[in-house]
Structure 1
């Protein structure tokens, strides 16, 4: 009997980072750090996405795909990552601008903006990867999520 729905697999990555929210009214305006957790969920078709029957994506392949992204985030100052000139065109089209304390227009590394950045990186670097969901955990009880709809 055929099944309905799709099988997905999720890989979880943990890393340390620092950030601050420019011109924010609250504690997050100050430089602080987190142990971040990132979940990436992908799906495959009925037959799966790999040559091996029953595997959507090899977990080792997903780890390899995410390696450069996690490396860019691990022990990084996310304000620099999100405002890197390499991402300027994308950020200008997709993220809200905030004015920092020096009067410059910048992009704030909120959980919401960072999950969008991860989705952009995956869609740009791996357009054939069927990403279903990305979840950016800022703490054990708080996350932002991007979903393919």
Structure 2
């Protein structure tokens, strides 16, 4: 079927995590947990694998498996500040000073969206990511959308 516009598919992932926002002026300065939800939307053209399929949902689940495993039942402060992401974080995120005066990166929903985007773009070059939405609760999320 021919159409105008962009055809996308979205896969949703749920997981649990803990975090805190260092030196934050609010309750989130304390260690707390969430049941998080992550939505990843990708675009494509019909085929070549199968007409009418942008990306097989099973394939998208496999693409995201390592990323979801990295945040599921973890302390996000350790994930975002891991040495393997230091170079990326320095060039893409604004640091905050923790209570000891050390510069760190805060695992806000906004920063985690950017981290997921980075992980997808480096691990799966060519995947046409259109939207990433990180739900911190049933009523609150941060979102990145591809530019027009």
What interval of TM-score do these two structures reach, taking the shorter chain for normalisation?
A: over 0.9
Cα distance in 1 for partners of 2:52, 2:2 equals 14
The counterpart of 1:75, out of the listed 48, 52, 73, is: 73
2:118 paired residue number: 120
2:128 paired residue number: 130
- Name segments (4+ residues, structure 1) moved above 3 Å: none
Cα distance in 1 for partners of 2:48, 2:95 equals 40
Under a length normalisation based on structure 2, what TM-score does the superposition of the two structures give?
Answer: 0.97
1:40 paired residue number: 40
Which 5+ residue runs of structure 2 have no aligned equivalent? Answer: none
- Match of 1:15, SS? strand
2:109 paired residue number: 111
1:54 paired residue number: 52
Alignment of 1:144 onto 2:138: no
Deviations 1:68-97, CA, capped at 9 Å, x for gaps: 000000000000000000000000000001
Deviations 1:87-134, CA, capped at 9 Å, x for gaps: 000000000010000110000000000000000000000011100000
Q: CA deviation at 1:2?
A: 3.6
- Match of 2:116, SS? helix
Cα distance in 2 for partners of 1:124, 1:16 equals 24
How much is the aligned-residue C-alpha RMSD, in angstroms?
Answer: 1.0
Contact 1:16 1:34 in 2 (8 A): yes
Equivalenced residue count is 147
Under a length normalisation based on structure 1, what TM-score does the superposition of the two structures give?
Answer: 0.96
